[in-house]
Amino acid sequence: LEIESHASMALFGPTLLAILADRRHPQRRAAQWAVLDLMEDLRSFFPTDVSQEHAIEAIRDLMWDATDDFARTIYKAGIVLGGHVCTMTSAEALLECLHAPSRYGRRSAIHACFHLNEWMPELKERIATELERVAQEDPEGILRGYAEAMAEDIRNDRFDHFDDVF
């Protein structure tokens, strides 16, 4: 509550980035998940374009080399990039993570591409093409199948979110 209520002061950005960068603390994933939850409103904590780019890089780096997905933190990281931030910088970072060394990062990126397509439909062709490439090249069979299904959903305009019809 204290951090959220003082977000506009832009005091917490460096600390949030330091938490995301931690690779050693045994309970880091819960704290990183909480940071990512705050970063759903990125501009509040990172008010400048440059600071937002640093935050996006930190999220990408978290996904890039993740050795686990405790607390579904890495999954959450993809959702933040593809479903909440939705800028060209976050889109580039997310698409880059489709080829990360971490299978957890790649899985998160595959899932988040679905959300990215929903909120940035102008990238549909590029997203689907990248997913199709993953479906051919990923070293993990289960991720190849996941990417193939996701590309098919995107190409066929299947969405999770619909306009209210009331």
| Residue-wise pLDDT tens digits, 26-42 | 999 999 999 999 999 99
Count the helix, strand and coil residues of the chain and give each as a percent rounded to the nearest 5. 75, 0, 25
Q: Closest Cα to residue 59, out of 48, 44, 47, 74?
A: 74
| Mean pLDDT of the region 72-95 | 98
**pLDDT of amino acid 7:** 61
Q: How is residue 143 written in tokens?
A: 């991720």
User: CA-CA distances (angstroms) from residue 116 to 3, 94, 112, 125, 134?
Assistant: 27, 9, 6, 12, 16
**pLDDT of amino acid 158:** 82
Q: Closest Cα to residue 104, out of 130, 51, 128, 140?
A: 140
Q: How is residue 131 written in tokens?
A: 């997913």
pTM of the model: 0.91
Q: Other CB atoms closer than 10 Å to residue 69's CB: what's the count?
A: 19
